[in-house]
Each structure stands twice: as structure tokens, then as C-alpha cells.
Chains A and B, each alone.
Chain A
Amino acid sequence: MSLLCLVFAAIPWAESVSLIPALAAALFAWLARVAKGSRQYAPFSSVYAAAIVFLLPPFDLSSALFNRLEPFFITLALSYLLGMALDGIQDSTPWAWLAPLLLLIFMPNVLGLIATFGLALLAALEKQQRYIGLNPYHLESQTLLKLALVALMIAALGFLLPKPQVFHDPTGGAPISAAQPAQPKEQPKLGLEATSNQPIKIPDTKRLESSSNALFQAANALLFGVVIVLAAFLFNAKLEKRKKTGQNSLWDFMPIIGGMILAIAVLALALNAPNGGSNPNVSTSSSLSGGSSESGQAEQLQPEETAEQKPTQTSLWIPIILTAIGLFFAYLIWRSARKQFLITPELEPENKLFSNIPSQHATNRIRIAYQTFLEYAQTQGIPRHNAETPLEFAVRYSQINSSTQVASLTLTNLYEPVRYGNQAAETHAVAAEQALENIIHKP
């Protein structure tokens, strides 16, 4: 649904710049969330989708330059889809941060930075959705600090992205190495300069230097590989922190190893490409950052496109993304299988509380509901002590807030089998969310 949302939103957006496409995206996102059964997340998803659509510059669908944005759309949509797919495992917010990162990669300028920070803020707000009804704008200092660090990291990565260097060889002789530019006469203006209304000077020669392109592609691929590795590492670290099984093995680092292999493979592919791929970002970056006033400029760049350049770029990005998604899903399947095989307590028939309906999604929902309860209690000045068990905390909390006694004990009773017994059911997830609702919106 999320993918459909973005695809549908992108089509009207490409025709003209107005609020309508953004509103359409918001509507689709809302419907997607409601269809998914998580109505409370709908507002944030809507704002998030609308912001993505609205912040992107307009683009002519019929233009050949649309093809340059194709990988971007695919990446953005798939990363969001990935986030949704992983929702059953953990909060999708870190994955939502991947989309802004890619946005900044394609918009390495101030606008991109602002957009990135804005989207990261939205992602953080989505994480804070638990405060809906309490304080929608509540952001703890710790969260703000994390947000700032992530935004800085994203910005640094975006600005560190190597820009494509297209050199003009006046003699038309031997190729010029990127490391030794040999006094290029003109260099395309990128980044911040491109945001002004100054037209970009395109080299009069149409020949792209192959080795510099190969290096650019290699660096780009390497950066993407690093992003995958970092994401995998963070995912794995968080998982390990949650599980703390104490049984680390090489398999626990499978996503990291997979990401590294992928990065190396892509690097090798890019370096060995006969033409080094097309020059993807000169025009793309300029066009993206140029805004609506540069539609003519897009046309100016169009003649430089050749039919054989398009599939090269697409064929570079799509396998990367598909491989990354494949790796993550393989990891999820492996993890699920590992859990199934390693933790299989023999239960008495009457003790099989709800183990006949193993539901990772329900587990996640109940844990999130309980975590939200803890955070809500903290905002109420009743933080859980480190050495307090859930039951002790529920008793203490209900002694202070007697009106929530039933709800807090219910939520705790639903949480304990999930946290300490690996048992959950969909109906219990609904009950847990209802109990949380009763705690937050107590009469």
C-alpha cells in the first residue's frame, strides 16, 4: 500500500506543481495506514508522504530526464516499503530516515538539507505518535539530540557524496584522469550554486570521460553500500540489544557481511563497466534543486541524453536495491527460523496460552504499547525505576493513578507473556492498545 501510495502520488505530481498532488499523497498514505489497521499512525504517514511529494521539484513526465529520477523514485518507494515491511519487527522510523538520506544524495544543497532535516523531524514525530492526544509536539531532549545527530550524519553523508566530474578535453585526445584533471576549462556548477537561477553551463563536448564516470559510479555505489552496511549494523545492534541472547555467532552479522559483499560487488561492477555507466547526477542534481523555474533548463539538458545511457544507470541501481531488500528479507526469515528452532519450550496443553497463534506483529504492537505506557508515565512524573519489574511498576502506578488501575494492570499482564514468554496473539495486541488508550485518555 505504501508503494502504491508513492507511485500514485508521483504521477499527478509530475504534471504540475501544486498542493493537489501532495494532498493526494496524504490521502493515499492515510488510506494505506487505515487499511493496515494502524489508524493512529495515519496523520504522520500522511504528512510524511505529502512532504516527500511537495518538497520535490516539478518534473515533466514526458521528459527524458524523468528516467534519471527513476532510480530515485524506486529507491524512495522501496525504502519506505521496506520500512513498512519491517514494521512487524521494529519501528519503521529508522527506515523512514533512509528516504531523506537518499533525497539528500540527489539534492546535495541547502534545500536538500532542509528537506532532509524536515523529513527526519517528521520521522521523529512519527515515532512520537504515542503522544497523540497527550502532547503531539512533545519531544524529549534526548530525542532531539538523537534527531540532531542523525540529521548531521545524513547531511555529512549527503555532502560527502562525490559529485560527478565531467571534464572537457579541448584537444579531444586521451582520457583525463579524475585524479589529475589537467586544468579543466569548465566544470558544471552543482549543489548550492545550482539553486540560483543561473543556468548551468553544459560542456560543449558531448563526450563523457569514461574513467571519471566509472570512479563516480564506484564511489556512489560504495556510499550506497556503506549506507546499507550502517543500516544493517544499526538494525542488528538494536536487535541484539533487545534480545541479548549472549549467543552471538557469525550468522548474527549476516546483514553486515551481506552489505559489505554487496558494496564490493557493486564497486567491482562499476569499475569494470565498459562505459562506466551514464553520468547520472549532473543533470539530475541540477534539475532537482532547480525548482520549477528550471523547467527550461531540463529541456536544455535533454539533448545530452542518449538512449544507451538510461538502462545503464537503471541496471546499476535496481539490482542494488533489490539485493538489499532481498538480504533484509532473508535475514528476517533466518531470524524467524532461528527463534523457532532455538526457543521452543515444551508447554503443557493448558499452558499454551496463545502460542498457537505466533504473531511477530502482535508481539511488536504489544511491546510498543507498553513502551508508550512507560514513556507516558515518565511524562506524568512517574518514571519506572530501573530495578522495578513491570508488575511492581504497574502496582505503584495504579496506586498513584487509581483511575487507571485496571488498564495499567491489563496492559502489564498482556506485556509480560510477550516480553518474557515469547507469546502473543493479535487479539491481545488490540487489547493492549485499548488499555493504553484507556490509560492516556483516562476519564
Chain B
Amino acid sequence: MIKDFANRIKQNVAKVIVGRESTLEITLAAILAGGHVLLEDVPGTGKTMLARALAVSLGLGFKRVQFTPDLLPSDVTGVSVYRGAGFEFIEGPVFTNLLLADEINRATPKTQSALLEAMAEGQVSADGETRSLPKPFIVIATQNPVEMDGTYRLPEAQLDRFLVRCTIGYPSAEEELEVLHRLRGVHPIHMLGTVSSASELLEAQSKSREVHLEPELREYIVRLVHTTRGLSEVYLGASPRASLALQGIAQGLASIAGRSFVLPDDIKRAAIPVLSHRLMLRAEARLRGITAEGLVKELLARVPVPVESI
């Protein structure tokens, strides 16, 4: 069921996004795990287009917020306005199923933090009142890692709330040719149809959580995450939320593949998107050219995988 659901989404998104199947699968796995996605790459690689295509394909309510330095928290969450009889709460763009937070690192930390409660708990507190967000609630944020002027680095707490951080990367020459061919007329995003619904996504999320994870693989996940906390190159390792994220993404990837059980390969595949943005490197490590992705790769090559012992 989930495999069929995922295939429909992938085929529909593929009408707009050429290649990038791996990124799309990780993003879908994150959505199945009920998490939020941070798409990070240089401009023009299709981050926003991917988010839009996903929103249309999933048939979810979609709103987009262009984050800028002067954006206020109330511009995201909503504001109370006085209308004769009293104050009325005008819901902000966060009250939707899929929120595209474009260039999230351009907003001030105060505005970025407005999303914390919404992302973690699916609710918004404003004017002393807590309001629930519609389900499912997914935030897909994009950010440019190169451009530093006029940007505010996302705080660790905010980063931790993103289940995965994906990069898209430049397309190959053949893929770029295909992009040119497809976009010679009307942009295909305008002709993209809906192939799923919010209820179907909720059911798929529920099924994905039931995918079997062998206890030894659970221990493998915990070992991976624990090891990040002891690395000399990092001053802040992955949190327990990272363990949960690894488990959820691995289950999501397994269900997308049509399996009813998780393989260690699923966990390994999920490790870099899940862990790399959660590792805070020491300054000297960064100066030595060490990257979080490199550290996670090193961990994956070191932590034993539970197989038969000989």
C-alpha cells in the first residue's frame, strides 16, 4: 500500500523534478515519519520546486512564506485584530498542511523560533490561547548554505526539529538537458495533478510506524547516535530525537521499498540526512576541513552492524 502510494508521488514529482530520486525518497520517508524537512542547497537547484511539487502531489493544503529579515513571528503564526465586538484571531500561514518556509535562514532567530512549537507539538500559542494545527502538518524549509550576508544561522533547537536535512545537488549534463526540454513551454508545475490526499497520507504514516524494527537494529541506531556524543571533533552530538528520527526514517524507507521490516541499509541511508545537521563541530575541526557528513560516514564505517557472528 505504502509502496504504491510512494510510487504515485514519485512519478508525479518526476514530471517536474528531473532525477533526484534519492532526495525525494528521503523527503517522502520524513513525511511518512511525520517529520519536517530542511532542503539545503545553492540557489537554482529546485528546492522550492520540489516542495511545491510534493504539496500538489500529496493533495495537501499548501502555504508559502518567504522568510525575510523583517518578517515578524505574528506574520507566521497569526495575529489578533479588533473587530467591533472584540479581538478576532487571524490565522497565519502556519495553519496549513504543508508549509514551505522559503529561505528560512533569512528571518531573525525570533521569527525562526516562532515555528518551534508548531513543528514540535503541532500547535500554536498566541494571545494566551493554544490552537491546534491541521493534520498532517509538515514544514519544508529551504536555505542557501553559501550566501551568508543578511542571514541568521538556524539555532540548534530549530535544527533538531527538522527530521532530515537534504541536499539536492547540481543535475548531471543529461539531466540538465532534460530540464531544458521540459521547461521550453509552460512550466509543468502548473499542470501537475493531485495523486493523493491528506487522509491517505495519514493512513500511510500510521502504517509506516508499524514496520518491524529488529531490537538489535534499534540498538544499532542508539550506538550510532551515542557515538556522535563522544567524538572529539564535535561539541554537541546528536540528541535522543535523532534516534527517533533515524528509526522513523528507516521505517519510512523500508515501507517505501515495500518491505515490512527495516534493514541496516535503511538506517545507514538515513544516517547522513538525519545526523549531519545535528552535529555541532568544534571550530578547530571546521578549520581542519572536517565536515559533519564526513564524520557520520566515518561512524557508519566503524559501528558494527548486527549480522551473524562467526
Contacts and interface: CB of A to CB of B under 8 A. Distances in A.
Answer yes or no: are A and B bound together in one complex: yes
Interface in A248-277: none
Interface in B70-109: none
Contacts of B305: 386-389
Contact of A345 (B1, B261, B307, B310): B261
A367 B308 contact: yes
B268 A389 contact: yes
B259 interface: yes
B264 interface: yes
Given A244-B306, A345-B210, A388-B305, A353 B260 contact: yes
Contact of A378 (B215, B303, B310): B310
Contacts of B211: 345
Given A348-B1, A420-B261, A343 B302 contact: no
B216 A244 contact: yes
A244 B260 CA distance: 21
Interface string A375-402: 1001000001111111111000000000
Interface string A340-373: 0001011110111100000000000001001100
Contacts of B264: 389-390, 420
Contacts of B207: 348
A386 B304 contact: yes
A417 B303 CA distance: 22
Nearest to B261: A421
B262 to A, nearest CB: 6
Nearest to A388: B305
Interface residues of A, number: 38
A423 interface: yes
B198 interface: no
Given A244-B216, A350-B1, A387-B303, A420 B310 contact: no
B268 to A, nearest CB: 6
B261 A423 contact: yes
A385 B214 CA distance: 21
A345 B263 contact: no
Contacts of B303: 387
A420 B304 contact: no
Given A351-B258, A387-B301, A421-B261, A375 B310 contact: yes
A392 B301 CA distance: 11
Contacts of A353: 260
A419 B307 contact: yes
Nearest to B206: A346
Contacts of A343: 212
B251 to A, nearest CB: 10
Contacts of A245: 215
Given A243-B215, A387-B303, A389-B268, A370 B261 contact: no
A421 B214 CA distance: 7
Given A244-B215, A246-B215, A387-B302, A416 B263 contact: yes
Question: Which of A352, A375, A386 has most chain B Cβ within 10 Å?
Answer: A386
Contacts of B300: 387
B265 interface: yes
Contact of B265 (A244, A370, A378, A392): A392
A187 B303 CA distance: 62
B216 to A, nearest CB: 5
B175 interface: no
A346 B259 contact: no
Interface in B248-298: 258-265, 268
B219 interface: yes
Contacts of A243: 215-216
B48 to A, nearest CB: 34
B307 A384 contact: yes
Nearest to A392: B265
Of B259, B262, B301, B302, the most chain A CB neighbours within 10 A belong to B259
Nearest to A345: B212
Contacts of B262: 420
Contacts of A350: 1, 258
A374 B310 CA distance: 7
A390 B307 contact: yes
A422 interface: yes
B259 A351 contact: yes
B217 interface: yes
Contacts of B218: 246
A232 B217 CA distance: 26
Interface in A400-433: 416-417, 419-423
A371 B310 contact: yes
Contacts of B214: 419-422
A88 B172 CA distance: 52
A420 B216 CA distance: 9
A345 B219 contact: no
Q: Which of B259, B260, B304, B306 has the most CB of A within 10 A?
A: B260
Contact of A421 (B216, B259, B308): B259
Nearest to B306: A244
23 contacts: A243-B215, A244-B216, A244-B219, A244-B306, A345-B261, A346-B210, A347-B260, A350-B1, A375-B310, A386-B305, A387-B301, A387-B305, A388-B305, A389-B264, A389-B268, A393-B307, A417-B261, A420-B212, A420-B261, A420-B262, A420-B263, A421-B212, A423-B261
Enumerate the 7 nearest inter-chain pairs by beta-carbon distance, A residue then B residue, closest first: A421-B261, A345-B212, A386-B304, A351-B260, A371-B308, A389-B264, A347-B260
Interface of A: 241, 243-247, 343, 345-348, 350-353, 367, 370-371, 374-375, 378, 384-393, 416-417, 419-423
Given A348-B1, A348-B207, 9 more contacts: A245-B215, A343-B212, A345-B211, A345-B260, A350-B258, A352-B260, A384-B307, A387-B301, A419-B308
